[in-house]
Amino acid sequence: MQKARIKLTSPDYEQLTEIANKILDVAERTGVKHSGAIPLPTKKLVVPTRKSPSGGGTESYERWQMRIHKRLIDIEADERTLRRILRVEIPEAVHVEIELKE
């Protein structure tokens, strides 16, 4: 049986959790073995910028930060389960990668 590894990434934590729960719900309804949603470490992207554009005065900085949250789901999937997972509506903020293994 094929195994599918689904990797979800998003800067929005709530949408990521919602999509992961929908995928796990599909897996439970079809009765396949699954594990997840395993939380992976959050990646922080930090960009410091200088407030004063002219270069005069004291150096003061603003820090802009974006957090990328990740989840990992493993499913022993047949074709029917994968088709149902692909039908789940996914927002633009969530990036999905599906890797199939034998």
- Looking up residue 72, the CATH number of its domain turns out to be 3.30.70.600
Q: What pTM, to 2 d.p., does this model score?
A: 0.81
Is residue 73 a contact partner of residue 23, using CB atoms and an 8 Å limit? yes
Q: What is the pLDDT of residue 50?
A: 84
Q: Six-digit token pair at 15?
A: 């949408």
Number of domains in the chain: 1
- Compute the average pLDDT of residues 11-40: 92
- Compute the average pLDDT of residues 36-55: 88
Q: How does residue 9 score in pLDDT terms, banded at 50, 70 and 90?
A: very high
Distance CA 101, CA 90 (A): 23
Q: Which domain holds residue 66?
A: 3-101
Q: How does residue 87 score in pLDDT terms, banded at 50, 70 and 90?
A: very high
Q: How does residue 84 score in pLDDT terms, banded at 50, 70 and 90?
A: very high
Q: What is the pLDDT of residues 50-74, one digit of tens each?
A: 887 777 777 888 899 999 999 999 9
Q: What is the pLDDT of residue 22?
A: 94
Rg of the chain over Cα atoms, rounded to whole angstroms, equals 19
Is residue 15 a contact partner of residue 92, using CB atoms and an 8 Å limit? no
